[in-house]
Structure 1
Amino acid sequence: MDNTLTYMDQGSFLGLRALGRAPIMQFTWIYRDGVDIAGLRRFHRNLGHGLLGRRIERSPLPFGRHRWISSSGPADIAVAAAERPRDEVTAWADERITVPIDPEYGPAWHLGVQPLTGGGDAVTLVVSHSVADALGLTLSIADAAAGIQRDLGYPPPGSVSRGKALLRDIRCAARDLPAVGRAVVATVRVAREQSEDLATSAKSAAPVKRPGSLDPVIPPTVTAYVDLEEWDSRVESLGGTSNSLFAGFAARLGQLLGRVDADGQAMLSYPVSDRSEGDTRANALNTVTAIVDPATASVDLTGIRGELKRVLTELGTAPDANLAPLPLTPYVPKFLVRRLERMVLKVGSPIGCSNLGELPAAAGRPDGNDADYVSFRLVEPGITAGELAKLGGLLYLASGRNHGQVFVSVTAWTVGGSNTRAALSEAVRRTLAEFELPATVE
């Protein structure tokens, strides 16, 4: 097994080190009748294998390729001593997201349980995006719940001496030189083609200084659970697909929160997985951008459905040119990573959309029993209000289907807005009402 990180995975890690923050994924399960702790402990042990059974060991060469090493994760589950009301599950999840994880020093993930007043438990798994993406994490959860342990053959920490590692990585860097040369040419081409956008991004990346702008924040999250039959009925009546209904909902909510361009169009940014069987990449994905009209989304999804089909078809025939510069990743200094962050996120007000689709049944039963509610979100603990203002705010939605339900989790931050969970909940409820989708909203 080659334990060398791909350029994209190394880029994810270097971004964390340069910015001091990075995306973190969180799965949360709620059990009305309580979780089986013995079953959950088996799940916890099994998680320490496969994609989550590893962390990153840096190359001793300043511009070398980093490597994966084995790591079984935290020693135990964090079980809260005191009960909390059900309506505090999201607040508890926010607290768990700030418990430190690190893909280099470990642990790269942790699992927690919160007993609920009157019975029941909430369970949450927090994972660094540098060791797995959303689909990789979902499959790892399903494996662990089903009792499957995958040995990827990674060496233990420090198994190669510094001298041997240095010689190995010098040879690797020499082999990579032709790819680096091609990446330089590709970078120049991309810069020329996107010169106008890059100039606009550079201007918008100017520091934002206002009271409280340096304080870390957790953007509010609201999760809605819709009965699967209700969801699919609306899909059929609106002439769409499950994915286009999710996109339409995201676009309409974005319009309500002011994340549209001068023509009233919404920019949806979709990660698209290209993960294959046995794929060990942490981040096996690409990104497509769909420009859609939210005005008629709640009455007709055919236009949005067609646009999604078009951009996905284009991706299949012509991979994203922005991936071509990736071989330069080991050579990019931290200060440049910080300058490039705004440019990578594109100009305008993108709306992040992550649709996990039909989750494996096992992903909904970490202790071996079906949870009553399952949800997923992606957040960046440590980000400040000033950085969010510099990035033009945030709107990110995630969705998946499991156990007869569709969940839609929404995380948002509006520059100059109230940015409370109550305000976001009201916006989500209004959008659900427009689509005639009855839901349980956390």
Structure 2
Amino acid sequence: MLIMAFAARLAFRMGRVDASGCVKLVLPVSDRHSGDRRGNALRSIAVMADPDACRNYPHALQRDVTAALASLIRHGDDVSPLFPLIPYVPLWLARHLEREALGTDLAVGCSLIGELPLEMNRPCGEALLLQLSLLERYTASELERLGGVLFIGCYGVGERLYFTVSGYVPDRATTRAELVPLVRDALADMGLCGTVS
């Protein structure tokens, strides 16, 4: 729940909230089974998070995530059956469908990647910093049309926990230098400390 609460606070700091002040968190859920060879074995859930409640009382967020997962198991979702078609969809159409799938509200992607092997942090010795980045890239015009983007990935290596933040808010946070203070403030909101680089 910590990563989702942090994501909600960062979204609040970046102004990615709806009219009621809530944040729409979109979470990927692995759908891979033993022997499963699908390239996109994912489903997703969405929960609405109150940024203030996340800071002081994250149990409500945990309850909502549990309910969303239960609903996904019972009813499925409308998007995952289309995933096998992704490699064959032109990029311009994929961007349009992305906007339709996320809706007009400012969705925030949040993924708990999990524990990575220690070897990931030893390319040629012990690395001081491990950073994973999204493969997906946007042009400035695509970011403007989407109303910006915010995605937080979380992964652990050994005793360290890493967050990778990809964020862009038109006219507000368009560079790394503008994003870093917002990340630091969101960490402080949660009573967390760490190295932001």
2:113 aligns to what? 356
Which residue among 91, 97, 100 is the counterpart of 1:340?
97
Distance 1:365 1:316, change over 3 A: farther
Counterpart in 2 of 1:112?
A: none
> 131, 139, 143: which is aligned to 1:388?
143
Equivalent AA in structure 2 for residue 419 of structure 1 = T
1:6-405 to 2 correspondences below 5 Å: 244-324=1-81, 336-337=93-94, 339-367=96-124, 369-381=125-137, 383-405=138-160
Unaligned runs of 5+ in 2: none
**What amino acid is the match of 1:298?**
R
What residue is the counterpart of 1:231 in the other structure? Answer: none
User: In structure 1, the residue corresponding to 2:27 is in which secondary structure?
Assistant: strand
Question: Which position in structure 1 is the counterpart of 2:194?
Answer: 439
Residue of structure 1 equivalent to 2:174: 419
3-state secondary structure, aligned to 1:407 = strand
SS at match of 2:132: strand
Residues 288 and 315 in structure 1, CA contact (< 8 A), matched pair in contact too: yes
Residue 111 of structure 2 aligns to a residue in which SS?
strand
Distance of aligned partners of 1:327 and 1:280 in 2 relative to their CA distance in 1, 3 Å threshold: closer
**Unaligned ranges ≥5, structure 1:** 1-243
**TM-score (normalizing by structure 1):** 0.41
Q: How many residues align structurally? A: 197
Instruction: Provide the secondary structure at the position in 1 that maps to 2:56.
Output: coil
Aligned-pair CA distance for 1:372: 3.0
Does structure 1 retain, via aligned residues, the 8 Å contact 2:109–2:150? yes
Q: Deviations over 1:73-128 (max 9, x none)?
A: xxxxxxxxxxxxxxxxxxxxxxxxxxxxxxxxxxxxxxxxxxxxxxxxxxxxxxxx
Distance in 2 (CA, whole Å) between partners of 1:332 and 1:300 is: 42
Do the aligned residues in 2 keep the contact of 1:376 with 1:399 (CA within 8 Å)?
no
Q: Which amino acid aligns with 2:182?
A: A
Structure 1: distance between partners of 2:15 and 2:193: 24
User: Does the 8 Å CA contact 1:370/1:403 hold for their aligned counterparts?
Assistant: no
Conserved? CA contact 2:42–2:80, under 8 Å = no
Equivalent-residue separation in structure 1 for 2:145 and 2:50 (angstroms) = 26
Q: CA separation in 2, counterparts of 1:425 and 1:333?
A: 33
Q: Does structure 2 retain, via aligned residues, the 8 Å contact 1:432–1:438?
A: yes
Write the distance in 2 (CA, Å) between the matches of 1:330 and 1:249: 32
Q: Tell me, what secondary structure is at the counterpart of 1:400? A: strand
RMSD in angstroms over aligned alpha carbons? 2.5
Partner Cα separation in structure 2 for residue 282 and residue 424 of structure 1: 32
Change (3 A) 1:305 1:342: same
Contact 2:173 2:179 in 1 (8 A): no
- Deviation, 1:377, is 2.3
Per-residue CA deviations over 1:20-44 (Å, capped at 9, x if unaligned) read xxxxxxxxxxxxxxxxxxxxxxxxx
8 Å CA contact 2:30, 2:42 repeated in 1: yes
Distance in 1, Cα, partners of 2:114 & 2:80? 25
Give the TM-score normalised by structure 2.
Answer: 0.87
Identity %: 37
Bigger Rg, which one: 1
Question: Offset at 1:280?
Answer: 2.6
- CA distance in structure 2 between the aligned counterparts of 1:362 and 1:252, rounded to whole angstroms: 32
Q: Take 1:348 and 1:413, find their aligned partners in 2: how far apart are those partners?
A: 15
Q: Tell me the residue number matched to 1:25.
A: none
- 1:330 Cα offset (Å): 9.2
Distance 2:91 2:126 in 1: 44
Q: Give a deviation string over 1:45-75, Cα, whole Å, max 9, x none.
A: xxxxxxxxxxxxxxxxxxxxxxxxxxxxxxx
Label 1:327 to 1:404 Cα distance change in 2 as closer, same or farther (>3 A).
closer
Within 2, Cα distance between the matches of 1:421 and 1:347?
25
Aligned partners of 2:89, 2:135: CA distance in 1, in Å? 25
In structure 2, the residue corresponding to 1:373 is in which secondary structure?
A: coil
Conservation of the 8 A alpha-carbon contact between 2:23 and 2:49: yes
The SS at the match of 1:411 is strand
The letter for the 2-side match of 1:378 is L
The aligned counterpart of 2:162 is 407
Shift, 1:324, TM fit:
4.2
